[in-house]
Amino acid sequence: MATIEHAGHSYDVDEDGFLTKGMEEWNEGWVEYVKSLEGISDLTDEHWKVINALQDYYKKNGIAPMVRILSKTTGYPLKRIYELFPSGPGKGACKMAGLPKPTGCV
């Protein structure tokens, strides 16, 4: 496990760059930091809509939403989500939102 320093904050991350303590350590500085890794030049309201949708769903249900639910709540088709987050909803958006790393046969 490693610790990342960014803009005066420190974050515990795993080898894939996901927050190991989850949303406990998450703040806006984390989003700024991940942005630079994920090839996103400008954070728009659309990005924030996805991040907020993920966080709200996670707080309420304890899991990340299925891709279909994310599309339905944000109104963005999967194609648009990939345009916003080139690494996709799991590796890109969930990482930025401070959700746990996706598991299973991925």
Partner 1 sequence: MGYDPQNPMVDRITDIGPPHYEQFLPPVIKKNFGKWLYHEIAQPGVLMHKAESGDECWTVRVGAARLISIEHIREICEIADKHCNGCVRWTTRNNVEFMVDSKAKVQPLLDDLKSRGNKFPVGATGASVSNIVHTQGWVHCHTPATDASGVVKAVMDELFDYFTSMTLPAQVRVALACCLNMCGAVHASDIAILGIHRKPPMIDHDAISGLCELPLAIAACPLGAVKPAKETNSKGEEVKSVKVTAERCMFCGNCYTMCPAMPLADPEGDGIAILVGGKVSNSRSMPKFSKLVIPFLPNNTPRWPETVAAVKNILETYAKHARKYERLGEWAERIGWEKFFELTGIPFTIKSVDDYRLAYDTWRTSTQFKFTSHIK
3-state SS class at 3: strand
Kindly state whether residue 69 participates in binding partner 1, applying the rule CB under 8 A.
Answer: no
Q: How far is the CB of 73 from partner 1 (least distance, A)?
A: 17
Kindly state whether residue 62 participates in binding partner 1, applying the rule CB under 8 A.
Answer: yes
Kindly state whether residue 75 participates in binding partner 1, applying the rule CB under 8 A.
Answer: no
Residues 6+ apart with CB under 8 A from 70: 50, 53, 54, 57, 76, 81, 89, 93
Kindly state whether residue 61 participates in binding partner 1, applying the rule CB under 8 A.
Answer: yes
Q: Which residues are catalytic?
A: 105
